[in-house]
Structure 1
Amino acid sequence: MSEYTPDSIEKKWQEIWEENKYFKAEVDHSREKYYCLEMLPYPSGRLHMGHVRNYSIGDVLARYERMQGKNVLHPMGWDAFGLPAENAALKNNTQPAKWTYENIATMRAQLKRLGYSYDWDAELATCHPKYYKWEQEFFIKLYNKGLIYRKKAPVNWCPKCNTVLANEQVEDGLCWRCDSKVEQKELSQWFLRITEYADELLEFLDKLPGWPERVRTMQRNWIGRSYGSELDFELEGLDEKLTVFTTRPDTLYGCSFMSIAAEHPMVEKLIEGKEQAEAVRAFVKETTEMDQFDRSSDSLEKKGAFTGAYCINPVNGDRLPIFVANFVLMGYGTGAVMAVPAHDQRDFEFAQKYDLPLKVVIQPKDEALDPANMTEAYTAPGVLVNSAQFDGMENKPAQEAITDYLAETGRGRKTVNYRLRDWNISRQRFWGAPIPMIHCDKCGIVPVPTENLPVQLPDDAQVLPDGRSPLPHTPEFYEVTCPVCGGKAHRETDTMDTFMESSWYFLRYTCAKDDTQALDPEAVKYWLPVDQYIGGIEHAILHLLYARFFIKALRDENIIELDEPFENLLTQGMVLMDGSKMSKSKGNVVDPDEMIGKYGADTVRLFCLFAAPPEKDLEWNDKGIEGSARFIKRIWRVVNDLGGKLDAVEPCASVEGMSLSSAAKDMRRKEHETVKKVTEDIRRAFQFNTAIAAVMELVNDIYHQKDELMKTEDGRYVLASTLSTALTVLSPVAPHVCEELWQQLGHADHLAARFWPKYDEKALVRDEITVVVQVNGKLRGRLNVAANAAREDIEKAALAESNVAAHIEGKTVRKVIVVPGKLVNIVVG
């Protein structure tokens, strides 16, 4: 018996696969395509077990679909720009590019060591000028289309990362990268008009049934479409109006004051010449320095400052004081909120604090609310009161009626509002794709001519000690000639948000080495959309929403013909240790290289797929991987023991014309049951854990029945077929050991080029079945009967069974219930 040596076996087969180009993908219209993709990793330096789990899931699917005869594209690349490279470069006194490419080399070697079936000819790195050249070209096209613009606006600023963050990159008021508290600044920034596609992004979610409902719900909530009214409140003493958006026009008659955001552009006009001016300015400063998340929190203490100004309610002429309030944000609606304290809890708390009046306009059906006795806002449904001609209406129908009234009388208009805001893509960092724009005092902002792309990062630039970008301090980079007038100009020194790169990389995989164009239309049309996308739930908003938008924008530029990038989405769970996510700071990291060195890549892959269903979190434990190692060694021993004694027989081989023994029939049935089970588990629900369990059960049956089967010619034939089948269906999970054992069985070809075995329905039919026999519902015996036995024969055999007969002796049999193929229940009295 040869020894199982995973290191040499795995490297051997990885070389064979590469030599034969088994995983290279090319457009072939004669074959059905399958595009399998895991989210590309950031080259941090080392793989972690989360990577291994993610890529193992994708590799099983890619190998399985390839064995189904499909033309499979399964690529890998590197999301290589970003802050961590700069921080590491500072720490190690090196260049971000050098650090990044060294990490890519390390991680590429790790991925190859795990035996993943990637088409390495399609590899890309987003930090390479040959990649971001085309991204810069897209930028210019979208700019010329009006989908990219520059404006001065309040932005999220991370003081530690020294850069702006998009709204989606602020999590609970903290930077998504470093957990620093985010500040508010006003800067000129570049934006993508993602809001232009808000409706389509929302509506197309219903066309993605292959996505988890949880992810679709998260995107719906983030887009946040709401219907309501926009109406104008005249300002007392000013020839201007204050515009408000509300989803509750049914409460309009109960408005008793107005709240506006500290950032509202009308603040200075409202306080001009008022005695409150300085106090309001101080409050504005205090509020704008607050965290945006805190300002939207329900637990926030509601504070405000009276501006000294008033506005007029357009439906009843009430004079309403205007306050700057800390809980009102410019990011939603118009930055002005009509305050109805009797029916909104935030307004109620504010009114209580500043002794402002409450006016009830919605009453419960069986109760009359008294504002003087209210301890909280009434927000439930009810009937309108104190609302002129709308009195007596239920508040839901009244919303539509009042909206129509406002429109008819010219006091308001129906409108739709969104939580989604345009995507801020400016980053004040070095390690990113340069924004291809030029600032000229004479011509304004003009694009870099496409023939001058890419605008490359200077190779010798050093990140400044505090992390700031060197680009604004590098004249040889920013000093340029205006391409329009030929005069002196300066290049844009902001770089693009790294999510720009990951918004289209999956398109570039289809033509990664094409230097003549960003995308090959034929290749994109053939391969896209991605059939199966795999990645973490943490990308539900940022990456997935941006990628969907980017595809629609490129479609409308006639660059591609595609509405949605990802047909199906699988969000795998995390890898945990002692109930916590693995992290270096917690000291609970399992090193994949260490595990591969100890057990082999196949065992590591097997454990990651067997320990939990893919969508669930996986709890790492040493006993689990030891169990996986024992299973690999068991199948190794079985094949080693039998390989030289058996002929090479095809999986699920035909037995036409053969007369099989009872043992051979049982083994053949188990073989075909296993293929059916594994096929269904992989195809329908990605339940790799139960698929692997089925193969384990088959191998155990082989182990226990092999000696009996080896006694006869038909038994040896079925045993050889079953071993071939076990290796074939296990090969997507543990490909190296299965290839090696396949060869030991005498097969001349390779499993990587094999088709998936097909089970025979006839083989699943049992000659005999076991029937449970109960007496008054209690188990009293079991019968082996012919699978096609008549009901009367089963009943007769059940009554004659010795233990059953003993329990019914002397009693009257009142009824015999026969459930075919399962049980007999004898009712006695």
Structure 2
Amino acid sequence: MLHRLAIFLIQAAQRQTIMENSTYTQTQDALKYNFKAIESKWQQQWLTEKPYKVSADPQRPKYYVLEMFPYPSGRIHMGHVRNYSIGDVVARYKRMRGFNVLHPMGWDAFGLPAENAALKHGVHPAQWTYSNIDYMRGQLKAMGLSYDWDREIATCHPEYYRWEQRVFLQLLEKELVYRKKTTVNWCESCATVLAREQVIDGCCWRCDSQVVPKNMYGWFLKITDYAEELLADLDKLGGWPEKVVTMQRNWIGKSQGLACDFQVENSAEKITIFTTRPDTIFGVTFMSLAPEHPLIDSLIAGTEQEAAVRGFIEQTLLEKQRMALDQEPEKHGIFTGKHCVNPFNGERVPIYVANFVLMEYGTGAVMAVPAHDQRDFEFARKYGLPIRPVVQPEQRLVAESMEAAWESDGVLADSGMFSGLPSAEAKKAVIAHAEQQGFGKTHITWRLRDWGISRQRYWGAPIPVIHCESCGAVPVPAEQLPVVLPGTTPPYGSHAPLHQQEAFYSTACPKCGQPAKRETDTMDTFMESSWYFARYTSPRKDDGVLDQDAAKYWLAVDQYIGGVEHAILHLLYSRFFTKALRDLGYLHIDEPFTNLLTQGMVIKDGAKMSKSKGNVVDPDDLIQQYGADTVRLFALFAAPPERDLEWNPQGVEGCFRFLSRVFRLIHSSLDCFSGGTAQIDLSTLSPADRQLHRKTHQTIRRVTESIEKDFHFNTAISGVMELVNQISAETAQPTASSVLREALETVLFLLFPMVPHFCEEMWQLTGHAQPLQLQTWPSFDPAAAEEDELTIVVQVNGKLRGRLTVSAATGEEEIKQLALVDEKVISFIAGKTVQKIIVVKDKLVNIVIK
């Protein structure tokens, strides 16, 4: 008795101390939720105590949750708030489930946007970037995100890209890196190469300047060496959205068919084509070459057509820059004046240059079969070229009356020895014949192309190669790494492109000692983001790329979270890099991310929030007005995570009112927390208390399932709101203190991952000595969650005709009989034949009548 009294007095004293704390403000009529004091208090405590700092612990199950790290633009936006709130809920929830959780944060800090912004503001890119990082770090901490800040990385720091340069050299040694001259998309304004995806309507995605083709040397990673594995391992990604897997599958683009040589007439040259439809090869009526095809020069040199063809090619390449990736151009072409020979029938085939043929697919040459390919059909109609059907459906095709190409299978006709064969059989027979005769073979092509990583601007990781006239391209010795970007430490120096900085590029050859020149291209910033998730496992390791034991413990990432806009490049490059690091001996995994969540965008006024559209809502303003917990709650409650979130200021206000309501509810119910936790005796509970106890356990089940199944935090929060409604109704009546205490504690448990500052404060207010984040996630009692009574909907032929209130223990047959004798139902089935009765457990009965 004395012991329980002592506990009561201690807890009362604790509550009194908390009440006197500045986290509460008393007005004349109500106690108000002082979110600024509460959030400041707990953020300071977390900063001091570092509760989210982790290390590998083989005795505990690990969980690695990671959001795509941000580019340090200077301020976080609502997209960041949503992304990082989702990740933080997962991290906090998994900790309470007993996992050893790794939840790191860093900065994708290199890149042209930072360089351009620095130039615009008259500062050095390093100064601009590090200043933005400092500011954004403060913003993220103000959101109460549970990061292990001791693992923070910035990709622009030499101690990060030092190891990236080391990996580059090891890939170079493995012949997975090479340098070649190629045609690139060049932005004169930005003075750099652009990926095709960065060219929008022929203009640079950054500055809107016209993009032009340019021939220059660049460095490439042989991602195509991993094409087969990248494609096959998509089947392992059961935790990824199907749309992302499909997008990657299509991007890799495996095609199997016939590679065949067409001899150029009166020449030793051959045109190699690839086709997935060898059954149509007797229908070839012309040959189409891509404007960039290397054979064109020799075909037209010294001919009457030369000037016209070159003019056509120049115009076509300019138009190509203006087109979107998925844009289909109007068909144009020009005859070269030359012919080639179809090896299957010896026919002369005119050779055209066509604007719709892509050099990056197949061989850059297409055997044109207008009867069986729609693009060829349109081209042939436009230029008056023959159309010859050779694959016939049941209703025979006649060239003159065809309105479109027949692209499906059929039976071969007018195809020599192959006539009469169905398409599937003919494809194999045609390939076999080509192989036997020596002018063709089975071949596989890929849409995927090697990854060009060269960039010509300053703000990127230097490529660690030295060019020597005698020795060629020489790797920088490992002991000389990192090759540091010049001028990046105060007082900051020049940030001109590296090819303009002689002090940087002038050096001596490591092999022969003669004067040489450093490589002045920097790496594509996708290089940094393709392995950062692995470096997080040992970010301070200073004698190697990775700590292999730490990487083996933490990887793969259990849950990766980010925008669907990264479905192709970032995710594909990360998959490639993981496999390459595995083959270099650093990793033991094949895939980097076990589960992927692609969250939707934040929409305002019908468009994605962006500065250019002038529809940005500043999270700082919201946090100042409502607090971080309210902003987090709105971001999680307004929509399921995979869907777009429509901005709604009333929704933010509603979330604030909800937290204020819980605040007042707990404060008004403090008496139920006096003394130890009392056992709940169901036999002594009133019907109202029993219902609240039941609702508590039903809510635990609902919230747990919502998080575990699909991260639908909106339904989880909705469930807690329903529980709060019932608690409010119950507190107006006599209620067992143990039941009320259980319900209120459950509210704090279930809301904690979403609104951690608020819940920790309320937990402490109610007299708990240990922080809430150290508690174990509650489990529900299945027996307590079961309803005593159920409401069963009764339908007749699918239409609502009545309702039954039955005991939860009522069997299916008894429910059927009760439905048949219900007064409201009888009138609808009288005189009719009951064909069957369908029972959906605990929900409805459907009586099917005739």
TM bin, normalised by shorter chain, reads: over 0.9
2:13 aligns to what? none
Shift of 1:347: 2.2
User: Kindly tell me: are residues 557 and 220 of structure 1, through their superposed partners in 2, closer, same or farther at Cα, counting changes over 3 Å?
Assistant: same
SS at structure 2 position matched to 1:567: strand
Shift of 1:179: 4.7
Report the Cα distance in structure 2 between the residues aligned to 1:526 and 1:548, rounded to whole angstroms: 19
Report the Cα distance in structure 2 between the residues aligned to 1:295 and 1:791, rounded to whole angstroms: 60
User: Kindly tell me: are residues 55 and 142 of structure 1, through their superposed partners in 2, closer, same or farther at Cα, counting changes over 3 Å?
Assistant: same
User: Kindly tell me: are residues 604 and 252 of structure 1, through their superposed partners in 2, closer, same or farther at Cα, counting changes over 3 Å?
Assistant: same
SS at structure 2 position matched to 1:10: helix
User: Kindly tell me: are residues 97 and 796 of structure 1, through their superposed partners in 2, closer, same or farther at Cα, counting changes over 3 Å?
Assistant: closer
Report the Cα distance in structure 2 between the residues aligned to 1:428 and 1:403, rounded to whole angstroms: 45
How many aligned residue pairs are there? 815
- The answer to whether the 8 Å contact 1:428/1:468 transfers is no
Report the Cα distance in structure 2 between the residues aligned to 1:327 and 1:231, rounded to whole angstroms: 21
User: Kindly tell me: are residues 288 and 790 of structure 1, through their superposed partners in 2, closer, same or farther at Cα, counting changes over 3 Å?
Assistant: closer
Partner deviation per Cα, 1:762-802 (whole Å, 9 max, x = no partner): 2113344456689999989877654446899989999999x
1:136 aligns to what? 165
2:563 is equivalent to residue 536 of structure 1: yes
Name which of 228, 235, 255 aligns with 1:199.
228
What does 1:396-475 align with in structure 2 at a 5 Å threshold? Answer: 396-459=424-487, 469-475=496-502
1:508 aligns to what? 535
1:560 aligns to what? 587
Q: Taking structure 1 as the reference length, what is the TM-score of the superposition?
A: 0.93
Amino acid at match of 2:697: H
Shift of 1:106: 0.7
- The answer to whether the 8 Å contact 1:261/1:324 transfers is yes
- The answer to whether the 8 Å contact 1:22/1:752 transfers is no
Q: Which moved more, 1:339-348 or 1:511-520?
A: 339-348
Shift of 1:298: 6.9
SS at structure 2 position matched to 1:9: helix
SS at structure 2 position matched to 1:531: strand
Shift of 1:260: 1.3
- The answer to whether the 8 Å contact 2:32/2:660 transfers is no
User: Kindly tell me: are residues 397 and 158 of structure 1, through their superposed partners in 2, closer, same or farther at Cα, counting changes over 3 Å?
Assistant: farther
2:121 aligns to what? 92
Amino acid at match of 2:387: L
Report the Cα distance in structure 1 between the residues aligned to 2:49 and 2:649, rounded to whole angstroms: 36
1:726 aligns to what? 747
Report the Cα distance in structure 1 between the residues aligned to 2:797 and 2:587, rounded to whole angstroms: 69
Report the Cα distance in structure 2 between the residues aligned to 1:377 and 1:500, rounded to whole angstroms: 44
- The answer to whether the 8 Å contact 1:48/1:591 transfers is yes
2:405 is equivalent to residue 384 of structure 1: no
What does 1:613-632 align with in structure 2 at a 5 Å threshold? Answer: 613-632=640-659
Report the Cα distance in structure 1 between the residues aligned to 2:182 and 2:253, rounded to whole angstroms: 21
- The answer to whether the 8 Å contact 2:529/2:574 transfers is yes
User: Kindly tell me: are residues 593 and 431 of structure 1, through their superposed partners in 2, closer, same or farther at Cα, counting changes over 3 Å?
Assistant: same
User: Kindly tell me: are residues 793 and 129 of structure 1, through their superposed partners in 2, closer, same or farther at Cα, counting changes over 3 Å?
Assistant: closer
User: Kindly tell me: are residues 311 and 726 of structure 1, through their superposed partners in 2, closer, same or farther at Cα, counting changes over 3 Å?
Assistant: same
SS at structure 1 position matched to 2:612: coil
Shift of 1:460: 6.3
Amino acid at match of 2:388: K
Partner deviation per Cα, 1:311-340 (whole Å, 9 max, x = no partner): 111111111222222222211111111122
State percent identity of aligned pairs: 57
2:769 is equivalent to residue 742 of structure 1: no
Shift of 1:546: 0.4
User: Kindly tell me: are residues 698 and 309 of structure 1, through their superposed partners in 2, closer, same or farther at Cα, counting changes over 3 Å?
Assistant: same
Report the Cα distance in structure 1 between the residues aligned to 2:107 and 2:203, rounded to whole angstroms: 26
Report the Cα distance in structure 2 between the residues aligned to 1:172 and 1:116, rounded to whole angstroms: 40
User: Kindly tell me: are residues 220 and 170 of structure 1, through their superposed partners in 2, closer, same or farther at Cα, counting changes over 3 Å?
Assistant: farther
Report the Cα distance in structure 2 between the residues aligned to 1:388 and 1:538, rounded to whole angstroms: 50
1:612 aligns to what? 639
- The answer to whether the 8 Å contact 1:799/1:805 transfers is no
Report the Cα distance in structure 2 between the residues aligned to 1:798 and 1:672, rounded to whole angstroms: 30
2:786 aligns to what? 765
Partner deviation per Cα, 1:358-382 (whole Å, 9 max, x = no partner): 322222322241x344443332332
- The answer to whether the 8 Å contact 2:673/2:741 transfers is yes
- The answer to whether the 8 Å contact 1:166/1:425 transfers is no
Report the Cα distance in structure 2 between the residues aligned to 1:625 and 1:684, rounded to whole angstroms: 26
2:717 aligns to what? 692
- The answer to whether the 8 Å contact 2:177/2:220 transfers is yes
Shift of 1:242: 1.5
Q: Which moved more, 1:164-173 or 1:594-603?
A: 164-173
SS at structure 2 position matched to 1:27: coil
User: Kindly tell me: are residues 721 and 170 of structure 1, through their superposed partners in 2, closer, same or farther at Cα, counting changes over 3 Å?
Assistant: same
- The answer to whether the 8 Å contact 1:605/1:733 transfers is yes
SS at structure 2 position matched to 1:291: helix
Name which of 227, 235, 247 aligns with 2:264.
235
2:423 is equivalent to residue 395 of structure 1: yes
Q: Which moved more, 1:12-21 or 1:727-736?
A: 12-21
Shift of 1:140: 0.4
1:255 aligns to what? 284
Shift of 1:492: 0.6
Amino acid at match of 1:198: A
Report the Cα distance in structure 2 between the residues aligned to 1:14 and 1:468, rounded to whole angstroms: 38
Report the Cα distance in structure 1 between the residues aligned to 2:175 and 2:797, rounded to whole angstroms: 79
Report the Cα distance in structure 2 between the residues aligned to 1:43 and 1:799, rounded to whole angstroms: 67
Partner deviation per Cα, 1:286-314 (whole Å, 9 max, x = no partner): 22333257498775232223222221111
Partner deviation per Cα, 1:189-219 (whole Å, 9 max, x = no partner): 0000011111111110010000000000000
Amino acid at match of 1:659: T
Partner deviation per Cα, 1:637-679 (whole Å, 9 max, x = no partner): 10011124532666xx753687323222111111100000000
Name which of 127, 132, 140 aligns with 2:156.
127
Amino acid at match of 1:153: T
Amino acid at match of 2:511: V
Report the Cα distance in structure 1 between the residues aligned to 2:380 and 2:825, rounded to whole angstroms: 84
Name which of 183, 189, 200 aligns with 1:154.
183
Amino acid at match of 2:349: L
Q: Which moved more, 1:453-462 or 1:507-516?
A: 453-462
Gaps of 5+ in 1: none
Report the Cα distance in structure 2 between the residues aligned to 1:257 and 1:805, rounded to whole angstroms: 76
Report the Cα distance in structure 1 between the residues aligned to 2:545 and 2:296, rounded to whole angstroms: 48
2:703 aligns to what? 678
1:702 aligns to what? 727
1:326 aligns to what? 355
2:84 aligns to what? 55
- The answer to whether the 8 Å contact 2:199/2:324 transfers is no
2:314 aligns to what? 285
Partner deviation per Cα, 1:368-416 (whole Å, 9 max, x = no partner): 41x3444433323322111101112222321222111111221200000
Amino acid at match of 1:505: Y
Q: Taking structure 2 as the reference length, what is the TM-score of the superposition?
A: 0.90
SS at structure 2 position matched to 1:637: helix
User: Kindly tell me: are residues 822 and 403 of structure 1, through their superposed partners in 2, closer, same or farther at Cα, counting changes over 3 Å?
Assistant: closer
- The answer to whether the 8 Å contact 2:189/2:209 transfers is yes
SS at structure 2 position matched to 1:81: coil
Name which of 487, 490, 503 aligns with 2:514.
487
SS at structure 2 position matched to 1:60: helix
SS at structure 1 position matched to 2:154: coil
1:642 aligns to what? 669
Partner deviation per Cα, 1:724-757 (whole Å, 9 max, x = no partner): 1110111000111111111111111111111100
Partner deviation per Cα, 1:406-433 (whole Å, 9 max, x = no partner): 1122120000001111000000010000
Amino acid at match of 1:703: S
Shift of 1:812: 10
SS at structure 2 position matched to 1:231: strand
User: Kindly tell me: are residues 784 and 340 of structure 1, through their superposed partners in 2, closer, same or farther at Cα, counting changes over 3 Å?
Assistant: closer
Report the Cα distance in structure 2 between the residues aligned to 1:275 and 1:447, rounded to whole angstroms: 48
Amino acid at match of 1:147: L
User: Kindly tell me: are residues 392 and 606 of structure 1, through their superposed partners in 2, closer, same or farther at Cα, counting changes over 3 Å?
Assistant: same
Q: Which moved more, 1:270-279 or 1:385-394?
A: 270-279
